[in-house]
Structure 1
Amino acid sequence: MRRAPPLYAAGGAALALLPVAMVLANRSSPILVAVAALAFLGGRWREEPRALPGLLVAPLRTPLGLACLAFLGWSVLSIAWSPFPALSLRVLGEFLPTLISAYFLVILAPGRIPAFAAPMAALAVVVAGVIIAIDLALDLPLERLLGHRVAAFVFNRPALTLDLIAGPLALLLWRSNRKLAAGATLAFAGLGVLRSISGAAAMGLMAGLAMAAAVWVLPRRMGIALAGLGLGLAVALAPIEGDLLARVMPEAAHQQLTQSSSRARVAIARSFGTAVAASPWRGAGYGTSARFAETPVAAQVPEGMRVLLGVGHPHNSFLQVWAELGLPGAFLAALALMLMLARLSVLPRADLTVALGLVACAGAIAFVEHNGWAGWWTAGLGAAITWARAARARLRPPGTELQP
């Protein structure tokens, strides 16, 4: 740490400590990502003040950047017809600052992260996995000690965070000739995920591993096509997910997924899908899921399907986009996802494998998770992408800037 510039050292430490911090306080990742982003912003400002604005603006001028800005613009515009503008602004107030912090971190940190940060992050992952496993096995004594809510699901967010960051961090460690640390990162992240009660985390782990294996063995174009097909179907079929699952999901599957409340999830998806069909063009407005049952859109839903609109979220981030932002929001989200895959397609094989594994993991989680705008989720994605780009930076020629 003494060899790293102080600001970069602080930013690297904040990023590295994120996994264990999430175990101790499962909403802490936005704060750590913000601290890390500010540290790297300050460091880059000292290092190259004239180049900094260009570094931050350049990615937004690409087709992917413009699509993301259009999606954000439509989200903000939809607050104009939100029946609960204060709620919409509160949700945006959590999401947007975290998104900006994550963006700054992703752009500015790779290539400047101190050498100690990746091993520290590996140790944080190991500690996080061990704490999750032991605390659950001993009936949550740590949660009692910390005065937290004593419930097994308190580790769901930390487990989902481990899901996201393990692969990218392991790649960076491997390229840094820390192969044992890379293996430990994957192993103990898997321990934390599989020992938690989060079905979403286990689903994300399996999807990420399956996609990574497919990309590693298949021709490059087939791997990209497979990821594109999965994301495209996730967006396109979200409004009819509930009806599809109600028809094709066997009773035996529901019996196996009792802990995941699969029947309730199917019913919730059917209710929100009915709401999308009632108002497909512009949605109920950004951030309205928490009070969706009180929106004018809900009044158009048959009474028998209306009750479960009051659960607070559709348990599917793709369906959430449809319900809140309508067809334009879904189209812009799909466009951004496809442009993202186009950008990833030029990566070297190992980087592409990890990147598409992360895409599959995050997509699978988003398909069953609660809130696509949650700050902890945005921060976790930002940290994962930062580690992935840091691994990519290890391959660039000395003295050159990593392309956004």
Structure 2
Amino acid sequence: MIGATPASAAGGRAATLDRLGAVVIAALPACMALANRSSPVVVGLAGLLLLAGAAASGRPLRALLLAPLATPPGVAALAFLAWCGLSLAWSPLPGLSLRTLSEFLPALLGAYLVARLAPPHLGRVAAPAAWILIATCLYVMADLASGLVIREALGQRVAAFAFNRPLLTMMLLVGPLALALAATGRRVLAAAALAVFAAAAWRSVSGATVLGLAAGALAFLALRWLPARLGLGLTGAALLGALVLAPVEGDLLARTMPEALHQRLAGSSTRARVAIARSFGAAVAADPWRGAGYGTSARFQDVPVAERVEPEMRFMLAVGHPHNSFLQVWAELGVVGAALAALVLLLTLRAVAGLTATARTMALALLAGAGIVAFVEHGAWQAWWTAGVGAAIAWLRALPYHSQDPTHER
């Protein structure tokens, strides 16, 4: 740049990098629809661009990235990760454990970078992000209605469930994104994004997406009218209850779930899910203290504790994971891992309590939606889900930077 000073040139490079990082985050729904495991790459790229932008601008990276790790929630999270790493010492499948960790940690790092560095820069891409999300939902609905002819023409796998991961990622994003839009006066666009996504979720075969969206929406509407402490208490009780009861979830459901409900939910394979929960619960009961080791759920039928599970229940240990992240923590990391996870949840809720009313309500709704999906759906260490959570937190943390309400604080 002719005539530009070194400082102004560096500022220009930083602004360009920050803008590119924000654009990449905005494009996440479309990327996931085209490649349904791409979120770690997308979020990781955005994180690197934002990190380079922060470094070029001279912003204090120590305060931005390291200081939060010294707070109580940060220390608890690091302790949980340390226990995950320590469990490799007794994992009977160290190669599998290391491979799982090697996929999870980069996704977690990318999510952390985006959550910490992206919020000040997302306001300028909020409207484009909403239009990208809307267009992605319309594409999903059109392809499902056509019998997946678009996916077939693109040479992709022709299966309706291939859209489940993109929809679950958008389920995390749509609420914080809509709130960020509404905070800057673009309420019609916010409502359109919510409505179109709800239609896509309903049209899809992803029951978990519908369940997560419903839980988040109901939590948001209810928590807007409840006192702050009561809302925090109810959310905490639900999440901690899911964690504490996870080892006996299968037995409880087997005793209380009526046959008529199984028949009504036949498409969700509820009988198989109950059997899976019972099998992994039996494994937890056989080795409750330290667990089988991080990442072993993918081949849990091969770990020593599986031999102590009754033969008729052992078959369900080969499904890849217990379809309940809370139960997976128990099975792989034992009571110590579960206690550390509970501590992380409690300290996270304490941090959420310090947010402004609207941001706090959205944060609790996001926890409700993500928590119910984690309780019924995927494995605990899925990189695509971790990256999506990081992007959702970034949109949530963007609210005070772009709100028209002067009472919001960063």
Any stretches of 5+ residues in structure 2 without a counterpart?
Answer: 1-11
Q: Once the two structures are superposed, what CA deviation does each residue of 1:118-143 show, in whole Å capped at 9, x if it has no partner?
A: 11110111011111111111110121
What residue in structure 2 maps to residue 324 of structure 1? Answer: 332
Alignment of 1:232-381 (within 5 A): 232-381=240-389
Mapped partners of 2:13, 2:201: distance in 1: 35
Matched letter for residue 58 of structure 1: A
Any stretches of 5+ residues in structure 1 without a counterpart?
Answer: none
User: Aligned match of 2:110 in 101, 105, 120?
Assistant: 101
Q: Once the two structures are superposed, what CA deviation does each residue of 1:326-350 show, in whole Å capped at 9, x if it has no partner?
A: 0001010011011111111122221
Q: Once the two structures are superposed, what CA deviation does each residue of 1:343-376 show, in whole Å capped at 9, x if it has no partner?
A: 1112222111111110000000000112111111
Kindly tell me the number of residue pairs found equivalent between the two proteins. 398
- Residues 276 and 326 in structure 1, CA contact (< 8 A), matched pair in contact too: yes
Mapped partners of 1:114, 1:347: distance in 2: 19
Mapped partners of 1:393, 1:336: distance in 2: 26
Task: Report how far residue 392 of structure 1 moved.
Answer: 2.5
Q: Once the two structures are superposed, what CA deviation does each residue of 1:51-91 show, in whole Å capped at 9, x if it has no partner?
A: 11222111101110000000000001101111111111111
Q: Determine if the alignment matches structure 1 residue 193 to structure 2 residue 198.
A: no
> Share of identical aligned residues, percent?
54
Task: Report the TM-score, using the length of structure 1 for normalisation.
Answer: 0.95
Task: Report how far residue 209 of structure 1 moved.
Answer: 1.0
What residue in structure 2 maps to residue 44 of structure 1? Answer: 54
User: Aligned match of 2:71 in 51, 62, 74?
Assistant: 62
Mapped partners of 1:256, 1:397: distance in 2: 46
Mapped partners of 2:239, 2:35: distance in 1: 31
Call closer, same or farther: CA 1:14–1:240 in 2, change over 3 Å: same
Mapped partners of 2:81, 2:200: distance in 1: 33
Mapped partners of 1:60, 1:125: distance in 2: 32
Matched letter for residue 221 of structure 1: R
Task: Report the TM-score, using the length of structure 2 for normalisation.
Answer: 0.94
Matched letter for residue 94 of structure 2: P
Larger CA deviation: 359-368 vs 369-378: 369-378
Q: Once the two structures are superposed, what CA deviation does each residue of 1:175-225 show, in whole Å capped at 9, x if it has no partner?
A: 122112111121122122211111111111111111111111111111101
- Residues 74 and 329 in structure 1, CA contact (< 8 A), matched pair in contact too: yes
Task: Report how far residue 3 of structure 1 moved.
Answer: 11
Q: Determine if the alignment matches structure 1 residue 156 to structure 2 residue 160.
A: no
Mapped partners of 1:294, 1:281: distance in 2: 19
Q: Once the two structures are superposed, what CA deviation does each residue of 1:221-260 show, in whole Å capped at 9, x if it has no partner?
A: 1110110010010100000000000011111111111111
User: Aligned match of 2:34 in 19, 24, 27?
Assistant: 24
RMSD: 1.8
What residue in structure 2 maps to residue 8 of structure 1? Answer: 18
What residue in structure 2 maps to residue 229 of structure 1? Answer: 237
- Residues 130 and 191 in structure 1, CA contact (< 8 A), matched pair in contact too: no
Mapped partners of 1:382, 1:392: distance in 2: 17
Task: Report how far residue 144 of structure 1 moved.
Answer: 0.4
